[in-house]
Amino acid sequence: MVPEPEWFDWSTGHPNFYGERFLTDVENATARLATAPRRLDPDFLDHRVQENKTIPTAYAQVYGGDQ
């Protein structure tokens, strides 16, 4: 339902540079999104409507919200 994400590797290099990698990839993703058309996908909207119907029921079953 979403475009390919921006991937980066947490497992290599010095931990103090992870933030720099993360910021670089956030900037790359932002630039990619700025050039892409921003249309509402009807299939995605239908998916969200269905989620909004099923998730509260599932949570109530798990967490006892129906008691």
Indicate the pLDDT class of residue 52, thresholds 50, 70 and 90.
Answer: very high
pLDDT in tens, 5-45: 778 777 777 778 888 888 988 898 888 888 877 788 898 89
pLDDT: which is higher, 55 or 17: 55
39: left (phi over 0), alpha (psi -120 to 50) or beta: beta
Distance, CA of 61 to CA of 51 (rounded, Å): 15
pLDDT: which is higher, 32 or 66: 32
DSSP annotation string for 8-38: --SSSS-GGGHHHHHHHHHHHHHHHHHHS--
Instruction: Check residue 19 and give its pLDDT.
Output: 85
Distance, CA of 64 to CA of 67 (rounded, Å): 6
Find, among 28, 25, 44, 48, the residue nearest to 36 by Cα: 28
